[in-house]
Structure 1
Amino acid sequence: MNLSILIPLLNEAESLQELYTWIVKVMQVNNYSYEIIFVDDGSSDNSWAIIEQFSQENPNVKGIRFMKNFGKSQALHAGFAKAQGDVIITMDADLQDSPEEIPDLYDMIIKQKYDLVSGWKKKRYDSVVAKNIPSKLFNWAARKTSGVQLNDFNCGLKAYKNVVVKNVEVSGEMHRYIPVLAKNAGFPKIGEKVVQHQARKYGETKFGMERFINGFLDLITIWFLSRFGKRPMHLFGAVGSLMFFIGFFLAFYIGAMKLYSLYNDMHYSLVTRNPWFFIALTTMILGTQLFLAGFLGEIILRTKNNEARYKIGKELNF
């Protein structure tokens, strides 16, 4: 199978028919063998009924319905697990991503041998203050932190080799950072293509300003996980040990000075009246706690179970 088109959605009933017709037309013109996987992330409108209708008309249409809203990352994870195409294309259901971009993205994966190609909505139709400026700041920070040189991490239109989606773990709200996850998993050839951005035709965006705050927090998380996710003791243990020994030697020095003053009949105040004693004690306690945090992190990594992060209510054509 050439292509898997993966579309996570939430309450996009108005746009589904137009999107589906457009995708099928592109598939037929280019003579692709394909599957379209709609992942309904707990919609409260009639999105699922429309997907059921598509699946009855076209066996290439498949559907996954979550029992409630679990988030875009979980929707992508479920779709990645089911996708069978040589190339997987992800796109949003709001018609802001153009299916006409699919052939070029497919060729970049197959002919140019990219592991992943991310869309870049260079010209946007969003609010400059509400989205464009925060997006530029977010993408700049993501490039500097991750080392992945993309201009638009948030673009939902992306293409992947099948092997890539089977080897990345998308959780929480990490869908923005799949290119970073792919790089960390051993897929370094990541490309970018300027794609057409279309104004939203129906409904309203599901994302507000909080997505940028969450994005920056997720960026810190993925930076940490990429460096210390497998060995937390390397960070917490090292910092904890350093703080403990600094506190220990400071306390040793204070104790030695007290003994020296007693031996030479010199006046020396009580140890507990010396503020450095409490600084040393606090440093030793914090160092011990950090060391234990690293130790517990190592234990958790070795004993964790991979509990499902979402519940699937229904499936179609799988």
Structure 2
Amino acid sequence: MYFSTLMHPCLSIVIPLFNEEESLPELVEWIDRVCSAHSYTYEVIMVDDGSTDRSWSVVRQLSQQYPSVRGIRFQRNYGKSPALYMGFRAAEGDVVITMDADLQDSPDEIPELYDMVKGEEGYDLVSGWKKVRYDNALTKNLPSKLYNAVNRSMTGIKLHDMNCGLKAYKRKVIKSIEVYGEMHRFIPVLAKHAGFKKIGEKVVQHRPRKYGTSKFGWERFINGFLDLLTIQFTSRFGKKPMHFFGVLGAFTFLAGFVFVVMLIIDKLRFGADFGLTNKPAFYIALTSMIMGTLFFLSGFVAELVVRNAADRNHYIVEEETN
């Protein structure tokens, strides 16, 4: 690992990468040119997510050529979220910008993104919006629009392109959230649930891919929807799971109990002519009561897990007074 000689840069640029050896020299040179023109003290943190080409050799060469470049290398491919997590953990700048390594994100966007976070607007997070795209319209553009529409309706965050890799953050944001699994798609959602409400958007340039091929396929949309459900659930009920399982269990058990009472009343009215166990309602009632009990038990088990979790009392403090 190579570390910057800068004590406290004003800007950190985190770049996760996987098999991007051809684009890295051009990308770093472009970033250095832009940052030097604006007199930024900066660091570039390049996280090699287990590349199988010469990417790591290129990162090492760049770190020797540019003192501001730092390199982190995974032993194997873990995914974009773990790469961002490691980059966020290492970042020291007041403003943190993420971008992809494939040159489809333009470093010329850095000054405006920096100003939107550091300037008078003071956004906690700014997400790029690739309004004009050069991807395949059928396999990427249309699914992406549908995907983002679902995200907006479920999360209430009005971003056109939540999955855009080009984003800017206050340092406090990236130090307050944990990106894991494939949750990099929902960093604005994680930030919102952590209490960072000032989320903005900027139209950014989307450049045609110059080298290599895309590393993502159709499965990301399916996985993304499942991850969205997960993050919505854990954000609302992560510290109080019984509030979900208990309510669900109560309604389910109560519905089954009502069915049983109705069947017993009918049995008393019609006597021996009424076959209780021959009625579908009997098995529906029995199943509902069993499911309700299981939901309750799930809630109790989840509460035990939460109460023994190391971060059960982890809260973000904005400021304190004497």
Instruction: Using structure 1 for the length normalisation, give the TM-score.
Output: 0.91
Separation (CA, whole Å) in 1 of partners of 2:277 and 2:224: 46
Counterpart of 1:131, as a letter, is K
From 277, 283, 286, give the equivalent of 1:278. 283
Q: What is the CA-CA distance between 1:259 and the residue it aligns to?
A: 4.6
Q: What is the CA-CA distance between 1:215 and the residue it aligns to?
A: 1.5
SS at match of 1:54: helix
| Other-structure match for 1:213 | 222
Give per-residue Cα distances to partners, 1:133-174, cap 9 Å, x unaligned: 111111111111100000111110000000000001111111
SS at match of 1:285: helix
Separation (CA, whole Å) in 2 of partners of 1:39 and 1:62: 9
| Other-structure match for 1:288 | 293
Separation (CA, whole Å) in 2 of partners of 1:213 and 1:272: 42
Between 1:243-252 and 1:142-151, the stretch displaced more is 243-252
Q: What is the CA-CA distance between 1:260 and the residue it aligns to?
A: 5.5
Gaps of 5+ in 2: 1-8, 312-322
From 291, 300, 306, give the equivalent of 1:301. 306
Residue 90 in structure 1 maps to residue 133 in structure 2? no
Residue 223 in structure 1 maps to residue 232 in structure 2? yes
| Other-structure match for 1:110 | 118
Separation (CA, whole Å) in 2 of partners of 1:291 and 1:202: 54
From 187, 195, 201, give the equivalent of 1:178. 187
Query: Number of residue pairs matched?
Result: 302
| Other-structure match for 2:146 | 137
Separation (CA, whole Å) in 2 of partners of 1:133 and 1:255: 55
Alignment of 1:1-318 (within 5 A): 1-111=9-119, 112-259=121-268, 266-304=271-309
Give per-residue Cα distances to partners, 1:163-190, cap 9 Å, x unaligned: 0000011111111110111011000000
Separation (CA, whole Å) in 1 of partners of 2:221 and 2:48: 24
Q: CA RMSD in A?
A: 1.5
Separation (CA, whole Å) in 2 of partners of 1:302 and 1:94: 43
Identity in percent: 59
Q: What is the CA-CA distance between 1:228 and the residue it aligns to?
A: 2.0
Q: What is the CA-CA distance between 1:102 and the residue it aligns to?
A: 0.2
Between 1:246-255 and 1:173-182, the stretch displaced more is 246-255
Q: What is the CA-CA distance between 1:279 and the residue it aligns to?
A: 1.3
Q: Which has the higher contact order (CA 8 A, sep 6+)?
A: 1
Counterpart of 1:23, as a letter, is I
Between 1:78-87 and 1:209-218, the stretch displaced more is 209-218
Separation (CA, whole Å) in 2 of partners of 1:154 and 1:273: 54
Q: What is the CA-CA distance between 1:226 and the residue it aligns to?
A: 2.5
Q: What is the CA-CA distance between 1:220 and the residue it aligns to?
A: 1.7
| Other-structure match for 1:314 | none
Give per-residue Cα distances to partners, 1:56-115, cap 9 Å, x unaligned: 222221111111111101110111111000000000000000001000000000111000
Separation (CA, whole Å) in 1 of partners of 2:56 and 2:310: 31
Q: What is the CA-CA distance between 1:273 and the residue it aligns to?
A: 2.1
Q: Would you say the 8 A contact 2:266–2:274 is kept in 1?
A: no
Separation (CA, whole Å) in 1 of partners of 2:297 and 2:138: 45
Counterpart of 1:26, as a letter, is V
Q: What is the CA-CA distance between 1:256 and the residue it aligns to?
A: 4.4
